[in-house]
Chain A
């Protein structure tokens, strides 16, 4: 599989991410598919920090920071203004964490999707409120330790199916992507770029700090998530589902055991975890 994409680097060295940050890796990779005109909209998240403190901007694109819950709405305003100015070729990219996407900004995300705003929305999902110091979000998987789900009160509930929720809006394109699979990742961003309307890409962004793992294993843990079936790589274009990478079905334990956050996981939580994944795959198989 040969991919053509610019060798451009819009993310410069010296950003403020933790070592091994999956969200920084994902941004660097994703931006290879965007051009220099792109407007980047970032709500409160780790990326509010990673992008740098004035005057040290590490992202060489026009970037606008927003409060937590409103990035899709600010992006809507920018889109509308650009269209009024005749700059329809300028892409508007929202880059948001799971805290704003799954939780506090879910309302504005849903509204922008329902209006089919012509923007690309990326949720970089590190499965907890990492910027405030690892608190549970509705993206946190069952059995995970966070500072608000300390042992023995580990997260009980299953992870919210945000892809399913967004697809219920009838948006033209939605996909999952992992920076551990750069070709698949870039192909999806390139496809999204050539579709009009609301495009949603869910990126699993491993977080060594919050997942309690070695910072050298970001790419590896991403692969384990995909190969164990925990994070299915799919895309849905105009309602047509496609599995873009078939997992090799390694045991889920391989994914769990290299992360400290799952170290105290008990049997019933393991069952909830696996059951949710089995059901997800049944659903995916049913649609593809």
Chain B
């Protein structure tokens, strides 16, 4: 029954209290046990032990004394008890003296320790006063620091006030500045309007002059038609080669300065007539004879409406190895191609075919780029052999070799002045050369592999493998602007009016940048268009309406700049990646060249 109750208890509602109760019981019982069995007795037994110990000592002393007395006793049996007592007392005296000595020694010891304590006390007092003094110093320092804090805070408040007033002033100034800026931009707009008006009037004046010229020409022609002329055919047949060359030169001159050439040329040649007819055709196409720059160095009659080519006129394997570069001369009848086989070939375009005219040697490695001078009589080329070369068209040996780059030269371009040449190289420099001296007159460190350069009279643009396009002031050699591209830049081209820059980069896109409108950009892409190499060349059409480039799949892609759409894609003629294309200044022909030495002449007819 008890066990059951207990179990109910331990498993019941208050097990903890139950647990506590048995534990408390044990603790209490133990205390009670100790009270009865231990605490009551421990003092008594301790005292008992002490007494026992003392008794034992006394007992020992007594026994010693007794022992000495017994030792005396046999010698002086006869002596009386007082003598014995005396001896006993003397013993005691010596014993006590001994104790006294010990005590004295102890006293000396204690005195010594007292002295030591005293001296340490003095030392501590000294230290205490020193600490007090330092405490005082620290407190005064603290006071002075507090004062300084207050001072600095006051200073800060003053500065804040001053700052606030300056801020207010700045805001007012800013307002004025903004007002002035608005006024300045208004003035600028006015100025621009004025200039535009002036330009328009200039244009119309030019137009009138040209019209007048055309009218006189027409009149003269009419009079010439009315006249009867004897044509001497025989003399023309006897010296065909010499005459041919002469005629060509005349032809070129005619294109450059039409009125004068007309006057100087003998009106008897039918070829002259043809060239004049051509001139009229160009006029009819409605090109506007424009900017002053072009008047300076570009032959008249180049600004045409480019015709989008549609079919291949002539396909041939032009070199022995891959062709890297192709360029029309300004005459549109003359073409140069440069290849990995180290030579430049010059071609005449006649009756829709390319006829080899000659080969220019002298490079020790493959040709990377070609440029004609505006007269079409000189050729500039860049080479893998770290140099740029300069030929006169009638001599197959280079007139100048420009050496100084430490790696391959990727591009060589004439400056507008024609006296200077700009080259870009893989050695991360751009060099400017004087052809008259001839020497390098400036080296610009462009900080990355330069894949192409284009230049105007005062600035140079370079394209780089670090996905950057850099603008340089050619007189100061300083970088004026750095524009990021989407990928490695493979080529650059500048429109004839120097307003637009075309870049081709390895992200399979072409970009046109307006150099005057805050570098606003336009991208050209197409399904299938893929850059074939790190030096794929993209170009503007001569009128700037189209951009074109060859693709890795062997097709030529042509985009319309105005609409931004792909205009056409000329495929099936190349079997490998196209390296470069060129568009004749007449707008009539396009030539594309590829890695497997093929060149294709395209036209719209």
A and B: interacting chains? no
